[in-house]
Amino acid sequence: MNDLLRRLLIATTVMIPVFYFINENPFDTTSFLSFEEKQLVSWQRARMQVNPGSKKHLKTFKDMQRNSEPLKNVNPRVLIGVPPVEKKLLTIGMASVQRPQGTYLFDTLRSLFFTSSPAEQKYFIVLVHLADTDRKWLNRMISNISTLFKPYIQARQLVVISTPRTSYLPLKNLKKNVNDVAFHSKQNMDHAFLMNFATNYSDYFMMIEDAVKCAPEYITQIVTIISACERKFWITLEFSQLSFTGKLFHSKDLPFFVHFLLLFYHEMPYDHLLSHFHNLTQKKSIHYSPPLFQHVGHYTSFQDKWNALKDKEFEKNDIGSPNNPAATFYTNLDVTDNSILKNAYSLDTSFFYVKEAKVGSHLTVILDTPATVFRVQVLTGYRVRQVNQLKEGQVELGYDTTNKVNDCDDYILLGMLVNGVLDKQVLYEESGKKVKCVRLLVTATLSSGLIIRNINLWTKE
């Protein structure tokens, strides 16, 4: 008898929230869901309340949504760019709204592209959802993005969309579960519509916020982790501890999380909803360190409030910009009249060009004072078009023991260029000596012309 009473009590506890949710939180006539589906959602929500500690497999949520209709009432418009023809490995998405203190979006886009090599950029596209209905702001953003990031737009690496307000669920008369429920509810839909649009363009999708900077080689690190986890079960991989930034999904799982955001859009902010989604799908968070993204700026999009949130792990691993100490340059490349050798070492957008590069030729940077070099980056070829690259070459570090003026007497190999790029950390345990020379060596003749955009050094005393 006691067991029967216990089961009846649990059943009653489950059913009451079902009808309460349907009656007290009705969806608008433009809802994405049928009444029957609302019942299923309410039943699942009630189960979560009764036994919040249980861990459910993704199959539970998939079965619940088997008969769900597509988001037929959502009609996003492409404002800038064209989606790629061929499926990419990764889509990086972010939603952005107007901020009274000014936008951080441009800096975020620069960081995404500038900290990735042309070879890495082949793997991903960036998708931006401008989620504000202010027409003047939209037009200004369209104009600025089109001008500042034209090469990436032309290369189909950047797409910007917007969703009409008529596609959104109601934001009035919402039960107040969090501060400014309307703001967080709209933000949930902003991200849901973004992810729904992104579903078919890549194998993986990663959400970031519109005010972040990226760690060097972040794409290579993500690809490496994806490869290592190929045979493991996971719903999200986390490359940052900050809110929704750096959360990676399989694109095939996006529809399920999109639906989840829309079902509970008025309940809590998206990062909290993601945590609850994990209760249904994934036993625990899978977080990788060091983080690949850091928050920038001082104001949030929520009421433009001051925000000092930082990922301390990222700060410890942020090595900043190259400093390129004073140096002289030597080469046996055939320098043309209008090309300046030192442009290869400058920290601006200038570059060094030669019509051909024969095997065995080199460009050597000789530091005025030997230094502890802990990172070296060599970039060749055009940034967007993969031409005039040094496909076959290597970078060597030189050490001086006999006080040579314009060379070093001891070189070690740092690494080979891949698709015209080298970006490597220097492990000092291997040498224990300060670097005097950095030599770029051509290992196969290049007859089509060579552009050396940057030889960047990071040094410390």
Taking CB atoms within 8 Å and a gap of at least 24, the contacts of 424-427 are: 424/375, 424/376, 424/377, 424/395, 425/374, 425/375, 426/373, 426/374, 426/375, 426/376, 426/397
Share of the chain above pLDDT 70, in %: 74
pLDDT band at 387 (very low <50, low <70, confident <90, very high): confident
Read off the pLDDT of residues 417-440 as tens digits, 9 standing for 90 and up: 877 888 877 765 445 678 999 999
- Note the pLDDT of residue 456: 93
Mean pLDDT calculated for residue range 188-214: 93
User: Is pLDDT above 90 for 50?
Assistant: no
Q: Which of 157, 96, 105 is nearest to 126 (CA)?
A: 157
Phi, psi at residue 289, to the nearest 5°?
A: -130, 145
For residue 173, the model assigns a pLDDT of: 62
Q: What is the pLDDT of residue 10?
A: 39
Which pLDDT does position 19 carry in this prediction?
A: 35
pLDDT band, very low/low/confident/very high, at 306 (cuts 50, 70, 90): very low
- DSSP class of residue 52 equals T
Mean pLDDT is highest, among 144-148, 163-167, 265-269, 305-309, for 144-148
- The one-letter code for the residue type at 361 is S
Mean pLDDT for 385-400 is 85
**Mean pLDDT score of the chain, rounded to an integer?**
78
Residues 138-151: tens digit of each pLDDT: 999 999 999 999 99
Say how far apart CA 245 and CA 313 lie, in whole Å.
14
Least confident of 47-56, 243-252, 324-333: 47-56
**Confidence at residue 317, expressed as pLDDT on a 0 to 100 scale:** 54
pLDDT, tens digit (0-9, with 9 covering 90-100), for 203-226: 999 999 998 988 888 898 888 888
Q: What pLDDT is stored for residue 150 in this prediction?
A: 92
Contact 232, 160 (CB under 8 A): no
Where b means 16+ CB within 10 Å and e means fewer, 170-183 reads: beeebeeeeeebeb
Say what the pLDDT of residue 4 is.
38
3-state secondary structure of 131: coil
At residue 315, the 3 state secondary structure works out as helix
* Cα 352 to Cα 311: distance, rounded to the nearest angstrom: 38
Q: Is the pLDDT of residue 48 over 70?
A: no
> Alpha-carbon torsion 201, 207, 210, 214, what sign?
negative
CA 108/CA 94 separation, integer angstroms: 10
Beta strands (DSSP E) in 246-392 are 247-250, 293-295, 327-331, 352-354, 362-380
User: What is the C-alpha to C-alpha distance for residues 169 and 460, in angstroms, rounded to an integer?
Assistant: 54
Q: Is the pLDDT of residue 251 over 90?
A: yes
pTM for the full predicted model: 0.58
Domains of the chain by start residue, with CATH: 2-54 (no CATH), 77-317 (3.90.550.10), 327-460 (2.60.120.260)
**Would the pLDDT of 175 be above 80?**
no
With bands split at pLDDT 50, 70 and 90, how would you rate the model's confidence at 124?
very high
Among the residue ranges 5-14, 31-40, 239-248, the one predicted with the least confidence is 5-14
Residue 296 or residue 156, greater confidence: 156
First to last CA, the chain: 78
pLDDT tier at 62 (50, 70, 90 boundaries)? low
Token pair belonging to 200:
């078919």
